[in-house]
Structure 1
Amino acid sequence: MRTRWSHAVGLAAGAAADGVFADPQRGHPVAMFGAAVARSERRLYADSRGVGTVFAVGWIGAATAVGALAGRAGAVGSAAAAFTSLGGTSLCRIADRIADALDAGDVEEARRLVSGLVGRDPNLLDESGICRAAVESLAENTSDAAIAPLVFGAVAGPAGLLGYRAVNTLDAMIGYRSDRYRNFGWAAARIDDAANLLPARLTAVVVAGLADRPGAVWQAVRRDAGAHPSPNSGVVEAAFAGALGIELGGRTVYPHGVEDRPRLGDGRAPTAADLRAAAALSRKVQVVVAVAAVLLRARGRQRP
């Protein structure tokens, strides 16, 4: 008989598997989901908010249904859904590899690696710009790729895990402010913003709890986060900036145009050492929230 304990055990196993194995290089279910979304977009795209809303809701519903089916397999299904949804370990390992490349003086390799984390043009980034881009991405994706899945897994089990992962993947694919996606991707971006409101703020709370200077974290979040164009990214990026004693934000060049991002935090420009510290902080945040999510799931009511 399935119980809340089996889903809690599965969530713990999936989080542990991500910590040990990280994302598979080939055949990742999220990559296959993304490929299916891309194929359907080529056939169904229209410069319309209505069409984009149906597109996003349809795919999120399909992923949620798959998660509900996975939940019927008990701990095994929960573990598979959690491992599929979590991406924090890969994120931190890439950050460490970027820092290694910069320490070795290999800026081109660092640019190649950071291009897998950010949408901005890596060829325009110097060493400081690479570190800034990587720390910002690490902060944002600590919430998006690790904390948010854990929150949804704790509350709604495998259905929540895979449903959230669909939300975040759709936002990454079509939630841009470009001419093509301004209307079609509008719903995907808004749904992602809503889904990450709580996880982003929970991430900031845990960052402050782990930081040597919690006051600096809260000062940066209260003062700077609201000026960021994203209601969630600004919160976690400001929290990391305050914890690390660095400054993030500034001119950012994307394929769809240039954005002048607000300054987040007080201090120097980030270095490779700061990037390593950010990765270490991200790992600690993930462990704390994973333990809390498993305990919450174990104590909650049985859900499919």
Structure 2
Amino acid sequence: MSLMRGSAEGLLLGVALDALLGDPRRGHPVAGFGRLAARFERLVYRDSRAAGVVYAGVLVGGAVASGVLLERAARGPLRVAVTAAATWAVLGGTSLGREGLAMERVLKDGDLDAARDRLSHLCARDPKGLDEAALARATVESVAENTSDAAIAPLVWGAVGGVPGLLAYRAVNTLDAMVGYRNPRYERFGWAAARLDDAANWVPARLTGMLVVLCSGRDAWRVLRRDGGNHPSPNAGRCEAAFAGALGVRLGGTNSYGGAVERRPEMGDGRTPEVRDIGRAVRLSAAATFAAAALVWGLR
């Protein structure tokens, strides 16, 4: 059995496991990596880019080395099982959808306080003072952006690099979520992690946009082409613009992060997102994920 064939079958089995089970409720490997990264940060933190390069390099390099050792130790059907387990560990598409639907439920119940409390499960936006429309928009935007981060990008890197690619991508993405912020503590230290994440998601974000077009049609393509580059992130705008066109809504606007207000260009020319659009976004995210899995199978 070739490495490519084993990886493809393992990737697809991992997608199936994620769809059926979602993230492990206890002992999640990504959470364990996060704890390790937090301890290592306390050891090496300095307010400098050089320290951040060491931090990211050691942790991502360790993830790659672990993946290489796992893959070399696996032969035949065991390689498929190892790839499937790694894929399941790094995918988060099903849990993303569940969080989106949980937000939809509390908003339908009219419980804005519970909805504001849940927003931190999806994004880092300040929830204070957000009304139903703002919470619905934040949720749709988070589902759109994280379709790439949680589902499409791991499959891309798994197809390219097998188990080392899977583990390396999730390490990069986790470090960006931990230290990739433009604030006084991480402006310099988190620079390397943030740039690595931008590079790792460049192709997957654009593939996500094209898969959304494939799953929805011409309006998604029109808005993706017109508005995809308007976002301050080099990648998030591709996903959000495609979702905006596919759902017929308008995303973007004023957001607050850690007390800092950002005014982002709007994407799409439809109406303001409503609560019912959250479920539509979750279904579109799942469709794009399964389209990516079909693409992996077709290219194997």
TM-score by length of 2: 0.95
After TM superposition, give the deviation of residue 103 of structure 1 in Å: 1.2
After TM superposition, give the deviation of residue 135 of structure 1 in Å: 0.7
Task: Tell me which residue corresponds to 1:6.
Answer: 6
Helix, strand or coil for the counterpart of 1:184? Answer: coil
Helix, strand or coil for the counterpart of 1:181? Answer: coil
Helix, strand or coil for the counterpart of 1:115? Answer: helix
Task: Tell me which residue corresponds to 1:64.
Answer: 64
- Contact 1:221–1:238 (CA under 8 A) maintained in structure 2: yes
1:291 aligns with 2:294: yes
> Which residue identity does 1:62 align to in structure 2?
G
1:152 aligns with 2:157: yes
- Contact 2:18–2:92 (CA under 8 A) maintained in structure 1: yes
Residue deviations 1:120-140 (CA, integer Å, cap 9, x gap): 111221111111111111111
> Which residue identity does 1:121 align to in structure 2?
D
Matches of residues 128-147 of structure 1 in structure 2 within 5 Å?
Answer: 128-147=133-152
Matches of residues 256-295 of structure 1 in structure 2 within 5 Å?
Answer: 257-295=260-298
**Whole-Å separation in 2 of the counterparts to 1:67 and 1:82:** 12
Task: Tell me which residue corresponds to 1:227.
Answer: 230
> Which residue identity does 2:174 align to in structure 1?
T
After TM superposition, give the deviation of residue 293 of structure 1 in Å: 1.7
* Counterpart selection for 1:123 from 121, 128, 131: 128
1:180 aligns with 2:177: no
- Contact 1:120–1:253 (CA under 8 A) maintained in structure 2: yes
1:43 aligns with 2:43: yes
Task: Tell me which residue corresponds to 2:21.
Answer: 21
Task: Tell me which residue corresponds to 2:33.
Answer: 33
Helix, strand or coil for the counterpart of 1:94? Answer: helix
Helix, strand or coil for the counterpart of 2:229? Answer: helix
- Contact 2:126–2:259 (CA under 8 A) maintained in structure 1: no
Q: How many residues align?
A: 295
After TM superposition, give the deviation of residue 256 of structure 1 in Å: 5.5
**Whole-Å separation in 2 of the counterparts to 1:224 and 1:2:** 41
Identity rate of aligned residues, in percent?
53
After TM superposition, give the deviation of residue 10 of structure 1 in Å: 1.5
Residue deviations 1:54-94 (CA, integer Å, cap 9, x gap): 21111111111111222232112111110111000000011
Task: Tell me which residue corresponds to 1:246.
Answer: 249
Gaps of 5+ in 2: none
**Whole-Å separation in 2 of the counterparts to 1:173 and 1:262:** 26
After TM superposition, give the deviation of residue 179 of structure 1 in Å: 1.2
**Whole-Å separation in 2 of the counterparts to 1:2 and 1:237:** 37
* Counterpart selection for 2:91 from 81, 86, 91: 86
* Counterpart selection for 1:218 from 218, 221, 230: 221
* Counterpart selection for 1:189 from 183, 194, 217: 194
- Contact 1:101–1:107 (CA under 8 A) maintained in structure 2: yes
After TM superposition, give the deviation of residue 294 of structure 1 in Å: 3.4
